[in-house]
Amino acid sequence: MPPPIPVARLYGPGDIRVETQTRDAAGPGAVRLRVTAVGLCGSDRHWFVDGAIGRTSLVEPLVPGHEFIGVILDGPRAGERVVADPAIPCGRCATCSRGAGHLCPRGRFAGYPGTPGALRAEMSWPADLLHPIPDRLLDDDAVLAEPLGIALHAVDLADVRPGDRVGVFGCGPIGLLLVRLLDHLGARVVIATDVLEHRLDVARSMGAEETRVVTATQDDAEPAGSDLDLDVAFEAAGEDAAIDDAIHASRPGGRLILVGIPGDERTSFVAESARRKELTIRLCRRMRATDLPRAIDLLANELAPTSLVSGRFDLTRAAEAFATLATRDGVKVVVQPSGAAG
């Protein structure tokens, strides 16, 4: 019998443990994958800090991790470096038939209750959801492909055009990738905001014309970016205050895209301002199946963003990695369950 592999499981808020498990057997259409890097994101932080995302609570131990890359271990593609699409749509429902598999109500998602994620040395995953990584693309950039796919989807929802005046409200990894992508597409990122100055330093390096530190609530402050007359505003913080800032900064008839994941089930905003401006408000969920290959191609050939990876941890230090994520030190935290790809 093959030896067990290490795995990190989240048992409750702040309680992540490194254990062992037997190796997955690859089922029909799946292959085994040696996991080389897993990026931790805002939803992982919600699981770790709150034990929940909205109305979905952690009811049994969960293996987190959905931004993952690795090396295929078996089959005709053995040895290939790949980025995984973490969403598995059912492929049969009306939503999937309309080409919106990322919205599939029956779909599964890595690192979400019912579907173990990638914080383990090896795993199995559907082969058709594993996309090749060009040799020139380093792991630190490849691990950004999934969040960049979300940024691409958000930009498409906003119908951004060259020359548009754009703001990004919340500069975690997805917000920063939005800044870089928008600048690459010829939009003017006239403002980027966040609660942390070190993230805004990165936003300036990626093309933001102005940056501003804000507080988590705006009860005692003027909304950030008022009267900026933005064509498009992206909220990427998951905070009501960031939505209010984006609304105040938008022009009449502007477009607002909500990308951030709130910790609570409900989101609120200043309806009077949004209504008077007749804003178009859209919500972005994950990415479409076509966005991940686009993201890989951009990272390999055109975008080349300054690496956002600020901390790398092997799996035995998973608790330290999540503690760093919880305090928002650095920008992108990466766990390497089996080490970097050779």
Q: What is the pLDDT of residues 9-53, one digit of tens each?
A: 999 999 999 999 988 888 889 999 999 999 999 889 999 998 988
Note whether 24 and 108 are same-domain residues: yes
Q: What's the rounded Cα separation, in Å, for the pair 118 and 36?
A: 10
Note whether 130 and 177 are same-domain residues: no
Q: For residue 106, what pLDDT is reported?
A: 94
Q: What's the rounded Cα separation, in Å, for the pair 305 and 112?
A: 29
Q: What's the rounded Cα separation, in Å, for the pair 105 and 88?
A: 11
Whether 303 maps to a domain, the answer reads: no
Geometric angle at alpha carbon 241, from 240 and 244, rounded to 5°: 90
CATH number at residue 135: 3.90.180.10
Stated pTM of the model: 0.93
Q: For residue 266, what pLDDT is reported?
A: 84
Note whether 193 and 267 are same-domain residues: yes
At 39-48, the pLDDT tens digits run 999 889 999 9
Note whether 155 and 277 are same-domain residues: yes
Whether 329 maps to a domain, the answer reads: yes
Q: For residue 341, what pLDDT is reported?
A: 43
Q: For residue 305, what pLDDT is reported?
A: 60
Note whether 207 and 81 are same-domain residues: no
Whether 296 maps to a domain, the answer reads: no
Note whether 156 and 112 are same-domain residues: no
Split into its structural domains, the chain has a count of 2
**Identity of the amino acid at 202:** V
Q: Which of 42-56, 95-109, 293-307 is modeled with the greatest confidence?
A: 95-109
Contact (Cβ atoms closer than 8 angstroms) between residue 89 and residue 38:
no
Note whether 9 and 140 are same-domain residues: yes
Whether 178 maps to a domain, the answer reads: yes
Note whether 170 and 51 are same-domain residues: no
Q: What's the rounded Cα separation, in Å, for the pair 201 and 281?
A: 28
Whether 19 maps to a domain, the answer reads: yes
Which residue is listed with tokens 């090896």?
122
- In the predicted structure, residue 329 carries a pLDDT above the cut 60: yes
DSSP, collapsed to helix, strand or coil, labels residue 312 as strand
Q: What is the mean pLDDT of the chain?
A: 91
Burial class (CB in 10 A: 0-12, 13-18, 19+), 77: middle
Per-residue pLDDT averaged across 222-250, rounded?
Answer: 88
Note whether 13 and 97 are same-domain residues: yes
Per-residue pLDDT averaged across 76-103, rounded?
Answer: 96
- In the predicted structure, residue 6 carries a pLDDT above the cut 50: yes
Q: What's the rounded Cα separation, in Å, for the pair 164 and 299?
A: 23
Note whether 59 and 17 are same-domain residues: yes
Among 118-132, 163-177, 192-206, 213-227, which is the least confidently predicted range?
213-227
- In the predicted structure, residue 330 carries a pLDDT above the cut 90: no
Domain extent, residue 88, equals 5-144+308-336
Per-residue pLDDT averaged across 245-261, rounded?
Answer: 95
Note whether 140 and 154 are same-domain residues: no
Q: For residue 222, what pLDDT is reported?
A: 55
- In the predicted structure, residue 164 carries a pLDDT above the cut 90: yes
Note whether 185 and 106 are same-domain residues: no
Share of the chain above pLDDT 90, in %: 78
Q: For residue 223, what pLDDT is reported?
A: 60
CATH number at residue 175: 3.40.50.720
Confidence tier at 151 by pLDDT (50, 70, 90): very high
Per-residue pLDDT averaged across 267-291, rounded?
Answer: 93
Confidence tier at 220 by pLDDT (50, 70, 90): very low
Whether 294 maps to a domain, the answer reads: no
Per-residue pLDDT averaged across 155-173, rounded?
Answer: 96
